[in-house]
Amino acid sequence: MLAGVYLIENMPLGAIGGSFVFTYVVQPLLWLLVVLAVWYFPRARAAGRLRLKGFLNLLAFICAAFYILMMLAGGMVDGFGHSPYSFTPLGILTNLVFVGSALLGVELARAFLINNLAERRPFLVITVFSIFFALLSLSLRRLFTLNSVFEFTKYAGNFLLPALSESFMTSYLAYLGGPIPALIYRGTLQGFQWFCPILPNLGWITKTFLGGFIPFVSMIIVQQVYLLETKEIRKNSKDKESVVGWVLTSVISVMLIWFAVGLFPVYPSVIATGSMEPMIKPGDVTIMKKIKAEDIEKGDVIQFRHGDIFITHRVIDIKDEQGKRYQTKGDNNPSPDSDLVAPQQVKGKLVHVIPKLGWPSLILRSSEGG
């Protein structure tokens, strides 16, 4: 039923009749059918302690509120914008029906599937259904419009990684406490997204970091705090639960290391000088995209190797001298760089700047130098 609802929502029928009736009547009715199906079949009890359900619900709300606070903090850097959703009485009501029906259907189905199947292999079941429900939240049509590796990387950072991270957190809550803590967690996040008039206008790099990192960290914290509360829990069960935390921590750590060392199509770089001010200041982190030298255009900001260091400057001219060469200049420098840049020296092209994130790295370097 879930797969069927997903396909109907993503079929051309949805685009053709992307009308008020299809969006706000047909889709909520489909989710209502899912809710009725879950209600009809016998349900297994959640794995967590009954006496700690209220505590788990509170943890779910705290984690959602923390996620929202981190997004607001990101908005302080990237800026804020007006919500695209309607705030007329009719608009709020119709959005509430649309969002609420899907949220209720998804979370009841998630808790039903996980708690009926997770008795023997909880980690495997949580993983499978976390991936399944993350994929259900993505637009099938949007996936087919991606034309390059960079577009897919941006899409994965904007949507896929946050969806997976949030889905793992929600699935773990559903495993411990059933649909209620899962509804509290996702309902708080959805409520902020759909019913707050001012939203943080996060860049895709910020969104990737917060969306991929915060829910996973929250899940590990919930796991540890919950285990501390269940003092009667058997040691072997505790060991099994701890494996989840260690595996997830390891995966996140490896992904962050791979990103930092440049194994992905985009990579970070800390700027140490003021040659590109005011656009890029010392201590800012630049996100560079790996490109072929022939794709460079006049005006692009590129990173290139010069001896043993990497320099980030703007291309001000492209010359054909013994093959293509690039004249570069720092925006804050009085004159162009003395040497032309050869294609083999080029490492990447600037796509985003994150202010001040690299200050700790500069402080450590200065301490080492002292």
Q: Residue ranges per domain, the chain?
A: 2-261, 266-369
CB neighbour burial string for 187-196, b if at least 16 within 10 angstroms, e if fewer: bbbbbbebee
- Any idea what DSSP says for residue 341? B
CATH number of 266-369: 2.10.109.10
Return contacts of 233-242, CB within 8 angstroms, 24+ apart: 240/122, 240/123
- The CA-atom distances, in angstroms, between 125 and each of 23, 89, 171, 323 are 31, 41, 9, 57
- 202's tokens: 């996060």
Dihedral, 324, 329, 330, 334 alpha carbons, nearest 10: 170
pLDDT at 236: 47
- Residues of the chain with pLDDT below 70 are 12-18, 149-150, 231-264, 358, 360-370
Residues contacting 96, CB < 8 A, separation 6+: 195
pLDDT at 360: 64
Residues contacting 43, CB < 8 A, separation 6+: 111, 112, 115, 116
- 326's tokens: 């690039």
Q: Are 356 and 366 in contact (CB under 8 A)?
A: no
Kindly report the number of other CB atoms within 10 A of residue 128's CB atom.
16
Kindly tell me the burial class for residue 97, based on how many C-beta atoms sit within 10 Å of its own C-beta (0-12, 13-18, 19 or more): middle
pLDDT per residue as tens digits for the range 26-74 = 888 999 999 999 988 887 888 888 888 888 999 999 999 999 988 888 8
Scanning the chain, the segments in alpha helix (DSSP H) are 2-10, 12-16, 20-21, 27-40, 53-78, 89-117, 122-136, 140-143, 149-155, 161-177, 179-195, 204-229, 235-261, 359-369
- 362's tokens: 């500069």
Distance from chain centroid for Cα 130:
14
pLDDT at 14: 44
What is the helix (H) or strand (E) element at residue 303, kind and residue range? strand 301-306
Residues contacting 319, CB < 8 A, separation 6+: 325, 326, 327, 340
Whole-angstrom distance, CA of residue 4 vs CA of residue 19: 20
- Nearest residue to 81 via CA among 193, 198, 196: 198
- Nearest residue to 133 via CA among 91, 175, 86, 168: 168
pTM: 0.66
